[in-house]
Amino acid sequence: MKSYSRRIGAVLFVGFLTIMFSAPRAYGSCGAVSCFIVIGSQQQVPQAGVLTVNGIYNYTPMRLLGGTSGVIPAADQASQRLILDHHKETRTITQTYTLDMNYGVTDRFALQVTVPYLKRTHRHIDGLGESSEEFGENATFSDNGAGDVRVTAKYNVLPTLRSMLVFGLGMDLPTGDTRARDSLGGVLESSGQLGRGAVGLIGSVYQTYELIPHRLNEFAFGSYRHTFRNWDGYQFGDEFLLNLGLNLVTVPWFVITNQLNYRYLVHDRLRANLEQSAPPFAGAEPEVLDPTAMTRRVSTTGSTYLAYTTGFQIAISGLTSASWAQATSVYFYTQIPLVRDFNNNLGQGTSFIAGITKSFQLMQRS
């Protein structure tokens, strides 16, 4: 069992390096992304009859990086138009409040439901070539509401005292808003909306092994998401995630976590014609380059991102013997970008994650 678990960790590490250095170039994103990390109580399979609940707050800013102009195409899914060099991105801030419920049906099988609530603000300069007097028009966007709910079934194929290997199969349900409008009255592009508007399928694998019992453990998590085309003819690109990290138990109630987080997002696709925006200050409508409505790659989407995350977890039961503190932990993490390729668009900045975990014994073991 020990050698098998170690081989799994080695395979995931080699896969991480392979993807990191060989993935093809992605294309920049208009809209927003979320910070992503490994929180063990989310990825693991609880014991039978135990419900583990996570309440998570996630703050993710996106800003224009040095050496980039932020001038990107517009993907107008409602009118089936893809307009090159149409507007200039300024910033996006996403705050996510997540309720995650992970229930152990048996000691090896669990069902998980993840419900996000998002608050998103966005700003850009619209219609760069459509005004002869100013460099486009300031447009803002703000929306609050539920995002896409995820339901996941997980199975632990390697339940030992020192290791765990969990395979997951999940589905994103299109429960988030997809029709919110910006301050100019137009429907914001799909990539900036709170929901994707289509079902997504997710496969995942989580592995952990205690290198030093009760003191140091390593973990790895990888996932793949595929989202189908929505009713507007817009399809989000596939997402690949890979995370590697270590947990160090300094004292029984205080754990330090360090991890590397890698994400590769493939470009989105939209059924649309192709147009070219007029030069700035031209005061002209976009020129139609190809009137045929066909599936086209949206060059403003996708990204390559590598980050380092550090943080800690505190077991409240180690600080007080109160009944409410039992099986309760709080945590805080900071995700720092190391490598960012957002292709002349907004890049994800330093993000912050805070949360609380509590487990409840709903059914007694037989």
What is the tally of structural domains in the chain? 1
The mean pLDDT values, 10 residues at a time, for the chain of 366 residues are 46 41 37 78 93 96 88 87 91 95 96 96 88 82 94 95 95 94 84 93 97 96 96 93 97 97 94 92 90 89 93 95 93 96 88 96 79
pLDDT of residue 365: 66
pLDDT of residue 182: 84
Examine residue 150 and state whether it is found in any structural domain, yes or no.
yes
Task: Tell me whether residue 72 is in a domain.
Answer: no
* Residue 273 domain flag: no
Determine, yes or no, domain membership for 70: no
CATH of the domain at 43: 2.40.160.40
Domain assignment of residue 257, given as a range: 2-60+92-125+139-181+191-264+298-361
Q: Kindly report the pTM of this predicted structure.
A: 0.87
Q: Is residue 31 part of a domain?
A: yes
pLDDT, residue 295, reads: 93
| Residue 232 located in a structural domain | yes
Helix/strand/coil (H/E/C) assignment for every residue in the chain: CHHHHHHHHHHHHHHHHHHHHHCCCCCCCCCCCCCCCCCHHHHCCCCCCEEEEEEEEEEEEEEECCCCCCEEEEEECCCCEEEEEEEEEEEEEEEEEEEEEEEECCCCEEEEEEEEEEEEEEEEEECCCCCCCCCCEEEEEEEEEECCEEEEEEEECCCCCCEEEEEEEEEEECCCCCCCECCCCCECCHHHCCCCCCCEEEEEEEEEEEEECCCEEEEEEEEEEEECCCCCCEECCCEEEEEEEEEEEEECCEEEEEEEEEEEECCEEEEEEEEECCCCCCCCCCEEEEEEEEEEEECCCCEEEEEEEEEEEEEHHHCCCCHHHCCEEEEEEEEEEEEEECCCCEEECCEEEEEEEEEEECCCCC
Is residue 326, in this structure, part of any structural domain at all? yes
83 found inside a domain:
no
pLDDT at residue 31, rounded to an integer: 53
